[in-house]
A and B are shown apart, each in its own frame.
Chain A
């Protein structure tokens, strides 16, 4: 740069005072070239690459990329294979009627269990419904309605305040 740095600085301060943002931007760019850049140490790249060797990349892949899941599925398939092999060895010619009977027993027991669960779910639902009815009766009274309205308004104000405090424009990370 062959220009007089003091002249550059004078020009910048003059444009800054004139409130001409584009001119101030250009003039300050010239002055700021004087400010040196800070450089990392010479062996920085070696240090980073040396540390990176021990890392494994985080891949955005499918569920099948999860190693333990693959192991689990493989183990399950292996167990199934062993069980099937055991059955075959124990009874080379499968006893079809007894197998069907066993399957029917499992299905019927499952159906009974499912019905019990549905009954339980229904009774819980009825209980919740009664609680809801009671709550509705309480909420319908004017004082409770007013309280709820005030509570909602307070929450809204709190959210607006928090958003204002946490917005980047207001974030203060200074020293």
Chain B
């Protein structure tokens, strides 16, 4: 039987290394994914994800079982990343490729869709365009998008993690989606989306 989060936390508080390992294994993906989306640097993401878990392990006494362990860890990750970004103030640089590359890929995608041979290629290209657009969003927008659509969290949970009002979360999501949609429309030629 899989141990519950409360069991793992209780054992980790008692100094169990295997419990600590289980906590990391259970939640490393969402934590790392969120942090990587925020800092966009693999090495920094690894360090910050590790820092998140170490902070959590040293503060297990403050964890309240009625709060989801994942949300508690995401909140620590959020604070850790915000501290990091405050110091670093990373320059605005595209992840990879240029807008013209992206346009070429999009045209290839349309050709593929017309012939309807390779749905996987379509998926990969839409994912790539979205990923590029996501990287250009403000950090807060990116964070709410990842928490909402990758982690399936409610508006209230996101608000709790980021320490902002629920209305602000909804507003961020709305603006983020609008910017992503605008990016897609700009990358692809007019008329593409009419079916």
Q: Please give, as numbers and ranges, the residues of chain A lying within 8 Å of B36 by CB-CB distance.
A: 38
**Main secondary structure on chain B at its contact with chain A?**
helix
Q: Does A37 reach chain B (CB closer than 8 Å)?
A: yes
A49 to B62, CA, bound (A): 20
A97 to B58, CA, bound (A): 58
Which of A6, A25, A168 is within 8 Å of B126, CB to CB? A6
Which of A13, A46, A58, A168 is within 8 Å of B168, CB to CB? A168
Chain B contributes a number of interface residues (CB within 8 A of A) equal to: 68
A10 with B193: in contact, given A21-B174, A58-B61, A168-B168 (CB under 8 Å)? yes
Q: Please give, as numbers and ranges, the residues of chain A lying within 8 Å of B29 by CB-CB distance.
A: 37, 39-40
B89 to chain A, nearest CB (A): 7
Q: Are B46 and A44 in contact (CB under 8 A)?
A: yes
**Main secondary structure on chain A at its contact with chain B?**
helix
Q: Are A16 and B130 in contact (CB under 8 A)?
A: no
Q: Are B149 and A5 in contact (CB under 8 A)?
A: no
Q: Are A173 and B122 in contact (CB under 8 A)?
A: no
Chain A contact residues, CB within 8 Å of chain B? 1, 4-7, 9-10, 12-14, 16-17, 21, 24-25, 28-29, 31-41, 44-49, 51-53, 55-60, 168-169, 171-175
